[in-house]
Chain A
């Protein structure tokens, strides 16, 4: 994509101006994403998302993006440095594989929120559905509502904080990610166990809650911690008969 082509586009907004507005009812998604990729900083409002997929995907800059409505699949995927706020619900795979920055969903998130995320913070004000934080690799996720089944499946690193409940098979085949749940856990997945909340965990949880804007509102003493029993890490010869 050449700069000349961007300049030739009739709908190109003035990127030098702060608070540029991109309207997805008059601009194409590719055009909006391309403009966001080509700028290093600034505040942008994306109007009329109408469930379109891959909005504000692959950003790498000091951008502050507001998606004003419901987003489709993979919104803010692969995010680096940028802050993306979704004023609505997010579809499957919001903030998947994000590297850094902040993604904030004001509504609910669908399946696989924050999947394979490497870093940064994902805050979901509503509920997240199944497989939240699947294969997590260092991203921190704070869900103010509840999470669906198979959340934190094979999660390797990072933290998942759930203020509500967790559905079936939380943390199945989990590696070293830390899970903090305030509400009820319907069932734990294979090799996931409750672990004691020591001072270091309370401190870490406090930091996560503060980062998610919940400073003072939520007591860390109300949470339980879950993590790996580390029984699936290695092959045990006495279990050979099971194969």
Chain B
């Protein structure tokens, strides 16, 4: 374990990712992404997921579409939370072993692995709180 594996991972100029889980096809995917011009700083599997998203977004995908593709191209287990310049998204793998809870008010949206982290947020008592479903992309875009 080294601090090089600390989250969040940022591979694009405006993409950062936090990953709870472990990917099993990251070595092969890293090789493919290197050929696509992605650069890596670590041998961490989560960085591969971040690079995959950066590549897809650079190629024209929306954040939502890029995450939908993760369901086909990433093997392993994961709960992702992704931030971009104007977007925020959450995705869990189809088995959804890793916990997640979300909350949304008029002013903010939040995601955590446990409600304890969301509890201190302002206005949480009136927030809509739910558990994100497996293999489902939850995405928000901040309008300019």
Contact = CB atoms under 8 A, between A and B. Distances in A.
Interface stretch (B5-13, B17-25, B48-56, B112-120): B112-120
A164 interface: no
B116 A72 contact: yes
A91 B114 contact: yes
Interface of A: 50-53, 70-73, 89, 91-92, 107-108, 110-111, 129-130, 148-149
- Mostly helix, strand, loop or mixed at chain A's interface? loop
Given A110-B99, A110-B101, A51 B114 contact: yes
A28 to B, nearest CB: 14
Interface residues of B, number: 15
Given A73-B114, A92-B99, A108 B131 contact: yes
Contacts, number: 47
Interface of B: 96, 99, 101, 114-120, 129-131, 133-134
Nearest to A90: B115
Contact of A50 (B96, B120, B130): B120
Contacts of B120: 50
A69 to B, nearest CB: 8
B95 to A, nearest CB: 8
A51 B120 CA distance: 10
Contact of A70 (B99, B115, B133): B115
Contacts of A71: 115
A238 to B, nearest CB: 31
